[in-house]
Amino acid sequence: MAIRTIVQLGDTILNKRSRPVEKFDDRLAQLLDDMKDTLKKADGAGLAAVQVGVLRRVCVIDVECKKGHSAGEFLELINPEIVKEDGTQEEEEGCLSLPGEQGITRRPAVVHVRAQDRHGKWHIHYGEGIKARAFCHELDHMDGVLFTQRVIRKK
């Protein structure tokens, strides 16, 4: 396992659409493990593969999603897609690739995501509040969309 460098604003890879994962192999497992280590060290709520320079539809979400309170439990989402959303929330958001940038975004209050695990098996994941925001934020990264494009009010 290793800590990877988080790509920063200005790198054009952040604006590119990630490709689906087709191979569920040791390389994918290594990427996921490295991303979890990187996310833990950065003290963030989520990290998409594109943020470590890999254009694949992969992200990890800290289940606790609270700065400084990680229980070391992560969701690994491969080829995720939102299948249901409900309500709205307007909350503060930031990004590991845009340090110091913050703003209020409007996101769904509840999100159901269908995604594969590291073995290729499909699962449905439920998130509300900050977890729903993290799902939406990381899926946006996979489509080349930064949270700043969703900001309704600057912080």
CATH match of 12-154 with 1.10.10.10:
no
DSSP class of 53: T
- The token pair at 27 is 């390389």
Query: Could you tell me the pTM of the whole model?
Result: 0.94
Yes or no: say if 104 and 92 are a contact pair by the CB < 8 Å rule.
yes
Active site residues: 138
Yes or no: say if 57 and 127 are a contact pair by the CB < 8 Å rule.
no
pLDDT in tens, 57-85: 999 999 775 555 555 689 999 999 999 99
Q: How far apart are CA 143 and CA 79, in angstroms?
A: 12
Q: Distance of alpha carbon 38 from its chain centroid, rounded?
A: 12
pLDDT in tens, 103-143: 999 999 999 999 999 999 999 999 999 999 999 999 999 99
Secondary structure (3-state) at 33: helix
What contacts 81, CB < 8 A, 6 or more positions away?
113, 114, 115, 139
pLDDT in tens, 110-121: 999 999 999 999
- Integer-rounded Cα radius of gyration of the chain: 14
pLDDT in tens, 30-62: 999 999 999 999 999 999 999 999 999 999 999
Task: Look at residue 93 in the predicted model and tell me its pLDDT.
Answer: 95
22 burial class (0-12, 13-18, 19+ CB within 10 angstroms)? exposed
